[in-house]
Amino acid sequence: MPVVDTPVTLTPSDAVLTDAEVHRIRNDFPILGTEVNGKPLIYLDSGATSQNPVSVLEAEQEFYEQRNAAVHRGSHSLAVDATDAYEDARAAVARFVGARTDELVWTSNATEGINLVAYAMSNASLGRGGEAARRFALGPGDRVVVTEMEHHANLIPWQELAARTGAELRFIPVADDGTLRLEEAAAVITPATKLVAFSHASNVLGTINPVARLVRLAQDVGALTLLDACQSVPHLPVDVKALDVDFLVFSGHKMLGPTGIGALYGRAELLNALPPFLTGGSMITTVTMERAEYLPSPNRFEAGTQRISQAIALGAAANYLAETGMERIEAWEETLGARLVRGLGAIEGIRVLGPDAGRPRIGLASFDVDGVHAHDVGQFLDDKGIAVRVGHHCAQPLHRRLGLTATTRASTYLYTTTDEVDAFLDAVALVRPFFGAHR
């Protein structure tokens, strides 16, 4: 582990990120100075989970050392302190995505956020939540729409919801170039559609989807929208109000935060009408032996003792990103992403998935190596200290659509250097010769 002196305080700046500044940023991330298999770690798997800066690690530790207490329960000083820190973190994360504080619900991760909405809709379909929740109710004849590029987290909860309610699940297909077939979207999003759930950016293709157009199609038929922002909130400026979506989910561990914490944004008016999913302590006003009244959002959806230290650490992560500047991070990753896509495309036998460099995409690239299975590609790279993701990346239907079972994915973040991308490209060029696939 490198010696970390005082954490570098980044001054917000409009200047583009450079390799020199990225090297300064790297000093904030202890793990980036470690070695793997005797080689300096080249971490190109931030799309799966990102690394943590010292400020995030310290926030979590400091909470346990100085403020640990249950929040929103009890009135001793420590509990008040803990509650303040917890709610400050909520405010920081809400601000980070342009939400009101009462519109940001803590979840374990994006998966839980999506399931929360799906189960709440399920409850509404059973009549829970009364008249106000009718708009969330589904039944035979109703439709939920997703896309063919979804992560399993934004597919299976809807399959299950459809199965429970008798609604049908339809999808917007993916074109060969890794973009959504928007001309089909208009046909799939019919007046029977109650919800359109789709990803902002694909974790496999890197495609940034045209949110405004899809939201418009949904709104035209009166359907709700849920945006899976797992791969956008960490990498580009996101403003929930500008996007005009009804619900949005993301995971803390992909944006420099710890595991075990994520968030669901929902428009206040919707969250306050949505019946709860998990029930129990801390989410009620009056309870009798027969029934209970529920608090408004966000507490309504936060039953039981919460992930306090993780929420506080995620607040620190959001502040770190905001101080660095999301526009700058977006621009830096765009450069790295284009370098990845062009570099990979220039290697014989490599097929890069998703849109060409220069089209809207985030800083990752998934690819197929002719004659070499992704698992072997990953093993070869690991031997050189390069961490990438291999497999179907929790998107089996998308891989099937592309005629593949597994691919290799390199994903960058604000701490990735140009040299790392180049070292990765050099290593990929050796893969087919090593496995004898170039003949």
Ligand X SMILES: Cc1ncc(COP(=O)(O)O)c(C=O)c1O
Q: Which of 245, 394, 395, 421 is catalytic?
A: 394
Reading across the β-sheet that carries 193-199, which strands appear in turn? 104-107, 262-266, 247-251, 224-228, 193-199, 143-147, 168-172
153 contacts which partner out of another protein, ligand X, none, CB within 5 to 8 A by kind? ligand X
Q: Which is nearer to another protein, 120 or 394 (CB)?
A: 394
Judge contact between 54 and 5, C-beta under 8 A: no
Three-class SS of residue 67? helix
Among 199, 366, 411, 416, the residue binding ligand X under the rule CB under 6 A is 199
Considering the complex, what minimum distance in angstroms separates the CB of residue 432 from another protein? 12
Considering the complex, what minimum distance in angstroms separates the CB of residue 252 from another protein? 24
Among 125, 147, 251, 310, the residue binding ligand X under the rule CB under 6 A is 251
Q: Are strands 386-387 and 42-43 parallel, antiparallel or unpaired?
A: parallel
Q: Which is nearer to ligand X, 51 or 199 (CB)?
A: 199
Nearest CA-CA partner of 154 in 198, 186, 119, 97: 198
Does residue 401 touch another protein according to CB under 8 A? no
Does residue 51 touch ligand X according to CB under 6 A? no
394 catalytic, yes or no?
Answer: yes
d(CA 300, CA 276): 6
Does residue 436 touch another protein according to CB under 8 A? yes
Nearest CA-CA partner of 135 in 221, 248, 241, 249: 221
Place of tokens 């793997």: 36
Considering the complex, what minimum distance in angstroms separates the CB of residue 400 from another protein? 10
Among 111, 115, 207, 324, the residue binding ligand X under the rule CB under 6 A is 111
Does residue 399 touch another protein according to CB under 8 A? yes
CA distances from 104 to 272, 335, 389 (A): 12, 32, 30
Scanning residues 391 to 420, which ones bind ligand X (CB under 6 A)? 394
Scanning residues 364 to 383, which ones bind another protein (CB under 8 A)? 372-376, 379-380, 383
CA distances from 382 to 71, 197, 268, 379 (A): 42, 35, 46, 5
Judge contact between 357 and 42, C-beta under 8 A: no
Among 42, 85, 105, 110, the residue binding ligand X under the rule CB under 6 A is 110
12 contacts which partner out of another protein, ligand X, none, CB within 5 to 8 A by kind? none
Does residue 148 touch ligand X according to CB under 6 A? no
Scanning residues 226 to 245, which ones bind ligand X (CB under 6 A)? 228, 230-231
Judge contact between 415 and 332, C-beta under 8 A: no
Does residue 38 touch another protein according to CB under 8 A? yes
Report residue 111 as tokens: 């998966």
Residues that bind another protein (CB under 8 A): 37-38, 372-376, 379-380, 383, 390-392, 396, 399, 405-406, 434-436
Residues assigned a catalytic role = 394
